[in-house]
Structure 1
Amino acid sequence: MDTVETHRGRHPVDEELVRRLIAGRFPRWAGLTVERFPSGGTVNAMYRLGDGMVVRLPLVEGGAKDVATELEWLPRLAPLLPTAVPEVLGAGEPAEGYPWPWSVYRWLGGENPEAGALSDPVPLAGDLAGFVAAMRSVTLPGAPDAYRGGPLASLDASTRAAIEELRGIPQEGVDCDAAVAAWEDALRAPDWDGPPVWLHADLMPGNLLVDGGRLASVIDFGCMGVGDPACDLFPAWNLLPAGARQVFRALLDVDDATWRRGRGRTLSQALIALPYYRRTNPAMAHNARHVIRAVLGDGG
Structure 2
Amino acid sequence: MTMHDDQVDVTTEIVAALIREQFPQWSGKAIRLVSSTGTVHAIFRIGNGLSARFPLRLADASEVLTVLEREAQASAELARVSRFPAPEPVALGKPGAGYPMPWSVQTWLPGTIASDADPSGSDAFAEDLAAFIASLRVADTRGRRFSGESRGGVLADHDAWMAQCFEESEGLLDVPRLRRMWSRFRELPRTGADVMSHGDVIPGNVLVTGDRLSGVLDTGGFGPADPSLDLVGAWHLLRSGPRDVFRRTLACDDLEWERGKAWAFEQAMGLVWYYIESNPTMSSMGRRTLNRILESTE
Counterpart of 1:255 in structure 2 is 253
- For residues 256 and 115 of structure 1, the distance between their equivalents in structure 2, rounded to whole angstroms, comes to 31
Counterpart of 2:90 in structure 1 is 89
- CA shift, 1:116, in A, is 9.8
- CA shift, 1:8, in A, is 2.4
Q: Percent identity?
A: 35
What TM-score, normalized to structure 1? Answer: 0.91
Counterpart mapping for 1:218-297 below 5 A: 218-297=216-295
- CA shift, 1:184, in A, is 1.8
Matched-pair contact (CA < 8 Å) for 1:115–1:238: no
Query: Which letter does structure 1 place at the counterpart of 2:10?
Result: V
Deviations 1:73-93 (A, max 9, x none): 222331211011111222212
Q: Which of residues 28, 36, 41 is equivalent to 1:39?
A: 36
Q: CA 1:111–1:230 in 2, change beyond 3 Å: closer, same or farther?
A: same
Which consecutive residues of structure 1, in runs of 5 or more, have no partner in the other structure? none
Deviations 1:147-168 (A, max 9, x none): 422100011221132123222x
Q: Which of residues 16, 23, 26 is equivalent to 1:26?
A: 23
Q: CA 1:188–1:113 in 2, change beyond 3 Å: closer, same or farther?
A: same
Query: Which letter does structure 2 place at the counterpart of 1:137?
Result: V
- For residues 258 and 156 of structure 1, the distance between their equivalents in structure 2, rounded to whole angstroms, comes to 20
- CA shift, 1:32, in A, is 0.9
Counterpart of 1:53 in structure 2 is 50
Counterpart of 1:136 in structure 2 is 137
- For residues 100 and 142 of structure 2, the distance between their equivalents in structure 1, rounded to whole angstroms, comes to 31
- CA shift, 1:119, in A, is 7.0
Deviations 1:98-146 (A, max 9, x none): 2222111221111111499437521111111111111111104264636
Over 6 Å off, 4+ runs:
none
Q: Which of residues 198, 209, 212 is equivalent to 1:211?
A: 209
Matched-pair contact (CA < 8 Å) for 2:141–2:224: no
Matched-pair contact (CA < 8 Å) for 2:16–2:27: yes
SS in 1 for 2:228: helix
Counterpart of 1:186 in structure 2 is 185
Matched-pair contact (CA < 8 Å) for 1:86–1:105: yes
- For residues 154 and 120 of structure 2, the distance between their equivalents in structure 1, rounded to whole angstroms, comes to 35
Question: Over the residues paired in the alignment, what is the CA RMSD in angstroms?
Answer: 2.1
Q: CA 1:73–1:161 in 2, change beyond 3 Å: closer, same or farther?
A: closer
- CA shift, 1:212, in A, is 0.8
- For residues 116 and 97 of structure 1, the distance between their equivalents in structure 2, rounded to whole angstroms, comes to 36
Matched-pair contact (CA < 8 Å) for 2:78–2:222: no
Which consecutive residues of structure 2, in runs of 5 or more, have no partner in the other structure? none
- For residues 116 and 21 of structure 1, the distance between their equivalents in structure 2, rounded to whole angstroms, comes to 33
Q: CA 1:27–1:115 in 2, change beyond 3 Å: closer, same or farther?
A: closer
- For residues 120 and 239 of structure 2, the distance between their equivalents in structure 1, rounded to whole angstroms, comes to 11
- Count of equivalent residues: 292
- For residues 226 and 136 of structure 2, the distance between their equivalents in structure 1, rounded to whole angstroms, comes to 12
What TM-score, normalized to structure 2? Answer: 0.91
Q: CA 1:84–1:93 in 2, change beyond 3 Å: closer, same or farther?
A: same
Matched-pair contact (CA < 8 Å) for 1:205–1:239: yes
Deviations 1:245-294 (A, max 9, x none): 11111111112222111111111111111111101101101101101111
